Amino acid sequence: MLKILGKVSSINVRKVLWACAEMGVPYAREDWGAGFRSTDDLAFAALNPNRLVPVVIDGDFVLWESNTILRWLAAREERFDLLPRADAQHARARARVEQWIDWQATEFNAAWRYAFLALVRRAPGFDDAGQIAASLQSWAGMLAIVEAQLQKTGGHIAAQAFTLADIPVGLGVHRWMLTPIEQFGEAAGFTRPAFPHVQAYYDRLRARPAFQSHGSLGVA
Ligand SMILES: N[C@@H](CCC(=O)N[C@@H](CS)C(=O)NCC(=O)O)C(=O)O
């Protein structure tokens, strides 16, 4: 059976759990990461030199990088509805899904980091009001991009229908919704912008049983 190493409070671990639930893939999960078994453990570091969760183990195959794990799972399960085939006929549709998966890992993810560590994790050293405000502005700018794209597709991030890209992007939206921006914003003059298409998208994702049971888990 597939083994997943990583705690559920990690957004990157939840991507994999949500994907497994969407695809009906059984797995056994072990708690690793801050607050649990340390990823500095030599046995863990031998699996992932970055010492980060998630890591998946499928027999003699070990894989890390959450978005790569999502692509691998979709390919293994032949879920071409979630990630179109890697052939010329489906090149455009596949690239559109991959574009949003990569955008999450690079642009979207980078924008929220400071604000999330300050307002949710309350991490030491992340208490500079100017940097929090800048991160919130940048994060809101990413949400504006999602808003415009959803207006175009009329459904999900890469297309009208749900695809693999909705897992990483959807969890980023979930994080935005659950972060207590208002508390900080009032003092700093930052107001959470209204994004009606993002709200409707979030409601759509929240209606999915796999998100309810494995994606959200009540944590940002
Ligand atoms: N690019 C990696 C990032 C993984 C990552 O940052 N994982 C965090 C949790 S979300 C982690 O392992 N932090 C160290 C720890 O919890 O010990 C991926 O997408 O898998």
For the chain, which residues make up each domain, given as ranges? 2-76, 88-212
Do the domains 2-76 and 88-212 sit in the same CATH topology, yes or no? no
- Give me Rg for the CA atoms of the chain: 18
Strand partners, 57: 3, 62
Structure tokens at 101: 């998966």
Least confident of 16-20, 21-25, 172-176, 189-193: 189-193
Residues 35-83: tens digit of each pLDDT? 999 999 999 999 999 999 999 999 999 999 999 999 999 999 999 999 9
Residue 96 CA to residue 173 CA, distance in Å, equals 19
What topology is assigned to 2-76 in CATH? Answer: Glutaredoxin (3.40.30)
Class of domain 88-212: mainly alpha
Query: How far does the centroid of ligand 1 lie from the alpha carbon of residue 150, in Å?
Result: 28
Least confident of 7-16, 38-47, 178-187, 207-216: 178-187
204: nearest Cα among 148, 152, 163? 163
Report whether the peptide linkage leading into residue 54 is cis, meaning its omega lies within 30 degrees of zero.
Answer: yes
Mutate to test the pocket of ligand 1, among 53, 104, 108, 174 (most ligand atoms within 8 A of CB): 53
Residue 44 CA to residue 166 CA, distance in Å, equals 29
- Ligand 1, atom 13: closest residue by C-alpha: 52
Residue type, 167: I
- Is 102 close to ligand 1, i.e. is its CB under 6 Å away? no
